[in-house]
Amino acid sequence: MKTLLLFFTLLISITAIGQKEKDKDINITEHQTDDFYLAGENIEINAIIDGDLVLAGSNITVKDTVHQDLIVAGGEIIVKGFIKDDIRAAGGKLTIDTEVGDDIIIAGGEVLITENAIIHGNLINFSGDIEMNGQILGNIKSYSGEIKINGTVEKEAEINAEKIYIDGIINGTSKLAAESITIGKNAIFNNNLNYWSEEGSLDFKNSLVGVNASFDESLKGDQKDFTMKSFGIAAIGFWIFYLLSAFLFILILNWAFGNFLRTISANLDTNFLRNLGYGSIYIFGIPLLILVSFIIIIGIPIGIFLGGFYLFSLLFGHLVTALLFTYFLETKENKNWGMWTRAFITLGIAAAIRLITFIPFLGSLLAFIVIAIGYGLIVYTLFHREKTLNFEN
| pLDDT of amino acid 282 | 84
pLDDT digits (tens, 9 = 90+) for 246-285: 777 787 778 778 888 888 888 888 888 888 888 888 888 8
| Position 368 pLDDT exceeds 50 | yes
Dihedral angle sign, alpha carbons of residues 384, 387, 391, 393: negative
Burial of 317 (0-12, 13-18, 19+ CB in 10 A): buried
Question: What's the pTM value of the predicted model, to 2 decimals?
Answer: 0.61
d(CA 19, CA 40): 7
pLDDT digits (tens, 9 = 90+) for 38-47: 877 789 999 9
| pLDDT of amino acid 6 | 41
pLDDT digits (tens, 9 = 90+) for 38-94: 877 789 999 999 999 988 777 899 999 999 999 888 789 999 999 999 999 888 899
| pLDDT of amino acid 14 | 41
Query: What ranges make up the beta strands (E) of 9-122?
Result: 26-28, 36-45, 53-62, 70-79, 87-96, 99-100, 104-113, 118-119
| Position 222 pLDDT exceeds 80 | no
Phi, psi of 225 (to 5 degrees): -65, -40
Domain boundaries, the chain: 24-228, 229-388
